[in-house]
Structure 1
Amino acid sequence: MQLAGPGVLGPPADPDGALAVLREAVDLGITHIDTSGAYGPQVTNELIRAALHPYPEALHLATKVGATRDEHGGWPPAREPEALRRAVHDDLDTLGVEALDLVDLRLGNAEGPQPGSLAEAFETLAELQQRGLIRHLGVSNATAEQVAEARTIAPIVCVQNMYNLAHRHDDELVDKLAADGIAYVPFFPLGGFSPLQSAALADVAARSGATPMAVALAWLLQRSPNILLIPGTSSVAHLRENVAGAGLELLPG
């Protein structure tokens, strides 16, 4: 998300730097890259293809459909069947693949998940999966009820919701998905900390000899075995700091 220009619109100020981040991620052993045709739009997908195509066999690209962009930088929903079909075909073209590894249906809005049925939209993606254009399905920014509804339509392999050390409203859902062998992918894993929480995080980081963000990422990884991380960055140095968080062991107390 952070590889596109300001406001996730247009090209990055440093295209070579963006390509370097992607190549360094693969060199560091990362096998899961999260993207969306709405980033840019299509800018991030084009960067991923320029940096990494033909893709390593172990690399998995996850994309999201269900929102587009407007002239004000907003993210209006685009969950009508034809809009979803167009978004999937656009992602296939810009990423240069015959099938997408994972497509998440983006729900809700900028305020978070919103109640309502996802049936028509998710059935559309399930049809595209049956045609061989999508390998796996997931949902993003979803309520627990929408997750359950999606599972009655087609198997899902992940849920991508906002969740971190400071925002733990999905605790019950994380545990249920873990029991069912479904991944939970928290977005904004480093956002929304209050000053008091930030101070506590800094204290733990100082005692651990790590950065506060590394501690926050390590907490997520140790929270549950089904959690996969997608912290965004446009900097190779910051990417390395994030990866360092994966090796940090936090002790109770």
Structure 2
Amino acid sequence: MSHPETFPLGAITVRRVGFGAMQLPGPGVFGPPRDHDQAISVLRRAVELGVDHIDTAQFYGPKVANELIREALHPYPDNLALVSKVGGTRDDQANWLPAQDPDDLRRDIEENLRTLDVDRLAAVNLRVFGEDGGSTKVDRGLFERQLDAMIAARAEGLIAGIGLSSISREHLEIALERTEIACVQNAYNLADRTSQPVLDLCIERNIAFVPFFPLGSAFVADNPVLGNPAIGRVAAELGRTPAQIALAWTLNVAPNVLLIPGTSSVAHLEDNLAVADIELPTDLAISW
């Protein structure tokens, strides 16, 4: 089953397999990397292999991922789309905390620009936190004010596109009443397709859908994706790793899917980028 090699990320067209910087900091996405030089090598190798879309966030580390990206790649290639995320923060105990006030969003956009040393980001995702840490309920008043802050940042040229993360379909519907949306980042993988309604609307509106945790959550012990028997069987048949098959499955879900698999290993990076060349038989790709 063939699939297109590129897709628009707002006004910018990127390859459908990019790189996520979340795994570059230390354990728990906190503190410096275990191996600084290897982290730099991963970033430089990614660009050498044609990656033109890197996803990051100021609160990865915090600051660590952005500072590594700047050290490794600045001055950046003209075609490199740097995408960040706002709406969250970390405390000294590495807890993930919401930072949802519109002033927080503006401050964090500006901080991303400083640490990455750029004048404008290709897109910034508003990471929505609900009452339970998720996005099941919509606080429309707050969300409207958040959108105002994002729209203002775009109008001022700080960001080229507005993205949304961890949202419900209702969030996306409200946002599209107000503005264009460049991308949506939600959890989505073989074992967790609760964001299918959001993906369906992204397909309908030609919006890039960027699934995080395509191999399952990095924060749980049991992995229902890589442990799936069909994944193991097809990996053996095609001479690939289970992770490659799971990523290829996700890439084949829809032509607007952009992958951002992350790693702190050059070897794993090369494996991840190779999934763009994997052809899954149609019957397999749709039956799991």
* SS of 2:210 mapped into structure 1: strand
Contact 2:86 2:126 in 1 (8 A): yes
Matching residue of 2:272: 242
Gaps of 5+ in 2: 1-21, 218-222
The whole-number CA distance in structure 1 between the counterparts of 2:190 and 2:173 is 25
The whole-number CA distance in structure 2 between the counterparts of 1:230 and 1:105 is 17
Deviation by residue 1:206-240 (Cα, 9 ceiling, x = unmatched):
01111111001111111100000011100000001
Q: Which of 111, 120, 124 is the equivalent residue of 1:99?
A: 120
Deviation by residue 1:107-139 (Cα, 9 ceiling, x = unmatched):
126853231221111211111111111110010
The whole-number CA distance in structure 1 between the counterparts of 2:118 and 2:95 is 28
Matching residue of 1:119: 144
Shift of 1:50: 0.6
The whole-number CA distance in structure 2 between the counterparts of 1:226 and 1:241 is 21
Change in Cα spacing, 1:198 to 1:123, as seen in structure 2 (3 Å) is same
Shift of 1:197: 5.0
* SS of 1:203 mapped into structure 2: helix
What pairs up with 1:1-253 in 2 under 5 angstroms? Answer: 1-108=22-129, 112-116=134-138, 117=140, 118-191=143-216, 193-194=223-224, 198-251=228-281, 252-253=283-284
The whole-number CA distance in structure 2 between the counterparts of 1:236 and 1:44 is 16
Shift of 1:194: 2.5
The whole-number CA distance in structure 1 between the counterparts of 2:35 and 2:212 is 24
**Which amino acid counterpart does residue 97 of structure 1 have in structure 2?**
V
Contact 2:216 2:225 in 1 (8 A): no
* SS of 1:63 mapped into structure 2: strand
Count of paired positions: 253
Shift of 1:160: 0.2
Change in Cα spacing, 1:135 to 1:236, as seen in structure 2 (3 Å) is same
Contact 1:214 1:245 in 2 (8 A): yes
The whole-number CA distance in structure 1 between the counterparts of 2:226 and 2:272 is 22
Identity %: 48
The whole-number CA distance in structure 2 between the counterparts of 1:195 and 1:139 is 25
The whole-number CA distance in structure 2 between the counterparts of 1:195 and 1:37 is 28
Q: TM-score, normalised by structure 2?
A: 0.84
Matching residue of 2:5: none
Shift of 1:196: 9.2
**Which amino acid counterpart does residue 32 of structure 2 have in structure 1?**
P
The whole-number CA distance in structure 2 between the counterparts of 1:188 and 1:55 is 27
* SS of 2:51 mapped into structure 1: coil
